């Protein structure tokens, strides 16, 4: 125990004090945490430029200058290492347009991981397809390739793989499965901006990659998203799908004229990103790698110190060459803490840190947010509604992980060594009081 005291002076004393949820003093006190999102250098200036430009949308008349959407698209495509980037209004919009661009439609099956945010399922429902929930790897919490192989049927049209929390999925194994069965692989990189696998950025391994730029994400414009691909035909389909069936003219538009032209190729919907968001992303992208490096440094320290206490940090697939952290996920030891349940453990940690600690996502089929019967639009037939509702089944690895794992948002990793040691002290304190928590 002396090693722990040396790593965090005073931690042992505070660990022995009463839990904050039971009225004791908290580990963190009133010290503030790093805030998120944070504006990159030049953010206010570039937003002011858009404000005065007279062009707030790519659908508005041309002012003779390249749009910020075009600028961000070019920058992000180069960053990821692909040929094309098509910005969208959200990560959900990116996923839906990617699915449709790949030809997914009514009655098709789409394999999705059992553990993910609800959009992994709702976007599939949104194109009238059927989400097929597949179990995850117990160490990475990402799609298990062996389980994917077993779940493929004649109706399977796509595999959506999520790089979850801080893990990169085994995209090469999944791509091989997709190629073998003639099924498209779509990478959901909403939580993985900047992650690399075998020295290549994620997003470029599948037919398409999708990103979210939501308030919480590593690269944020409040809301927003993007589809990336090196397939020109797929990119053109996404362009039409996200802009009411229009695409940008290859000939520069005259001042006052529209750049988006009506081709009649493919009907779409309005899922475009505003010029304000696009401009903001051009400056936010400049600092992404620097912020990711800070998070990575602190996460490695957490891995070591929490590992010494018996907690098990989320792993990533071998071959990951640059890891990023949307959330820091860690499994609690078996025993009293696991018996207490993750809502109780999360509440206790939140009280100690004054920073939200949450259980991981529940299995999608067990999520309160997954309820196709609550919306008539999914009742395209009695048989279809039965197919999307009957997906509620038991997947043991996902359920075991949900019963033993908690997460911290990446803002907690943007501080200095003291923030890391406060997190460790909080985990040590609840470990000492595990029996008490289990009895609550």
Q: Once rounded to an integer, what is the mean pLDDT over residues 425-439?
A: 96
Which of the four pLDDT bands, split at 50, 70 and 90, describes residue 252? confident
Closest of 427, 411, 336 to residue 8, by C-alpha? 427
Phi and psi at 161, nearest 5°, equal: -105, 135
Task: Note the pLDDT of residue 105.
Answer: 96
Using only C-alpha atoms, the chain has a radius of gyration, in whole angstroms, of 23
Domain spanning 2-39+287-361+398-438: CATH 3.20.20.70: no
pLDDT of residue 385: 86
pLDDT above 50: residue 6: no
Taking the C-alpha atoms of residue 175 and residue 231, their distance in angstroms, rounded to an integer, is 15
Residue 300 zone, left/alpha/beta (φ > 0; ψ -120 to 50; rest): alpha
Average pLDDT of the chain is 94
Question: What are the domain boundaries of the chain?
Answer: 2-39+287-361+398-438, 43-284
- What pLDDT was estimated at residue 293? 98
pLDDT for the residue numbered 389: 82
Share of the chain above pLDDT 70, in %: 96
393-420 tens-digit pLDDT: 789 999 999 999 999 999 999 999 999 9
| Residues 6 or more apart whose Cβ sits within 8 Å of residue 150 | none
Residue 406 CA to residue 399 CA, distance in Å, equals 13
pLDDT digits (tens, 9 = 90+) for 175-187: 999 999 999 999 9
* Check whether domain 43-284 has CATH 3.40.50.410, yes or no: no
- Work out the burial of residue 186: count CB atoms within 10 Å of its CB; fewer than 13 is exposed, 13-18 middle, 19 or more buried: buried
Predicted TM-score (pTM) of the model is 0.94
Q: Is 354 left (phi over 0), alpha (psi -120 to 50) or beta?
A: left
Whether the per-residue pLDDT at 174 is higher than 90: the answer is yes
- Grade residue 4 by pLDDT with cuts at 50, 70 and 90: very low
What distance in Å separates the CA atoms of residue 204 and residue 225, rounded to the nearest whole number?
16
Average pLDDT over residues 257-278: 96
- Categorize the per-residue pLDDT at 10 as very low, low, confident or very high, splitting at 50, 70 and 90: very low
| 219-242 average pLDDT score | 98
Distance, in Å, from the CA atom of 156 to the CA atom of 366, rounded to the nearest integer, reads 22
pLDDT confidence of residue 386: 86
The per-residue pLDDT for 8 is 45
Distance CA 65, CA 87 (A): 18
pLDDT band at 210 (very low <50, low <70, confident <90, very high): very high
Contact 146, 119 (CB under 8 A): no
pLDDT digits (tens, 9 = 90+) for 328-383: 999 999 999 999 999 999 999 999 999 999 999 999 999 999 999 899 988 888 88
Task: Tell me what pLDDT residue 1 has.
Answer: 34
pLDDT tens track for 13-38 = 455 589 999 999 999 999 999 999 99
């Amino acid at each position: 125990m002396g090693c722990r005291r040396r790593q965090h002076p005073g931690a042992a004393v505070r660990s022995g004090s009463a839990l904050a949820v039971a009225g004791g003093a908290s580990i963190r006190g009133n010290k503030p945490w790093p805030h998120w999102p944070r504006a990159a250098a030049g953010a206010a200036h570039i937003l002011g430029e858009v404000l005065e430009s007279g062009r707030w949308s790519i659908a508005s008349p041309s002012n003779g200058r390249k749009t910020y959407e075009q600028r961000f698209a070019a920058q992000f495509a180069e960053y990821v290492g692909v040929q094309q980037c098509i910005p969208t209004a959200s990560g959900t919009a990116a996923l839906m347009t990617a699915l449709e661009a790949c030809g997914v439609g009514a009655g098709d099956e789409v394999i999705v991981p059992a553990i993910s945010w609800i959009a992994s399922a709702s976007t599939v429902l949104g194109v009238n397809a059927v989400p097929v929930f597949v179990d995850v790897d117990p160490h990475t919490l990402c799609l298990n390739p062996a389980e994917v192989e077993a779940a493929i049927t004649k109706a399977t049209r796509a595999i959506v793989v999520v790089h979850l929390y801080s893990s990169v999925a085994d995209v090469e194994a999944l791509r091989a499965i997709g190629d073998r069965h003639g099924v498209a692989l779509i990478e959901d990189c909403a939580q993985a901006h900047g992650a690399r696998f075998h020295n290549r950025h994620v997003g470029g391994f599948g037919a398409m990659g999708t990103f979210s730029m939501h308030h919480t994400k590593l690269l944020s414009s409040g809301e927003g998203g993007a589809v990336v691909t090196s397939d020109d035909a797929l990119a053109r389909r996404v362009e039409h799908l996200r802009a009411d069936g229009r695409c940008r003219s290859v000939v520069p538009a005259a001042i006052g004229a529209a750049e988006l032209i009506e081709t009649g190729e493919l009907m779409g919907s309005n899922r475009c990103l505003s010029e304000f968001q696009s401009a903001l992303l051009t400056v936010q992208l400049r600092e992404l790698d620097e912020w990711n490096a800070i998070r990575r440094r602190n996460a490695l320290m957490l891995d070591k110190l929490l590992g010494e206490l018996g907690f098990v940090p989320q792993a990533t697939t071998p071959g990951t060459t640059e890891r990023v952290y949307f959330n820091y996920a860690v499994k609690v030891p078996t025993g009293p803490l696991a018996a207490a349940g993750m809502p109780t453990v999360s509440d206790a940690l939140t009280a100690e840190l004054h920073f939200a600690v949450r259980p991981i996502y529940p299995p999608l089929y067990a999520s309160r947010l997954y309820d196709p019967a609550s919306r008539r639009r999914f009742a395209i037939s009695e048989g279809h509604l039965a197919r999307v509702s009957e997906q509620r089944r038991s997947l043991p690895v996902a359920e075991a992980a949900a019963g033993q794992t908690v997460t911290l948002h990446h803002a907690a990793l943007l501080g200095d060594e003291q923030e890391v040691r406060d997190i460790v002290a909080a985990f040590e304190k609840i470990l000492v009081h595990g029996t008490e928590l289990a009895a609550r």
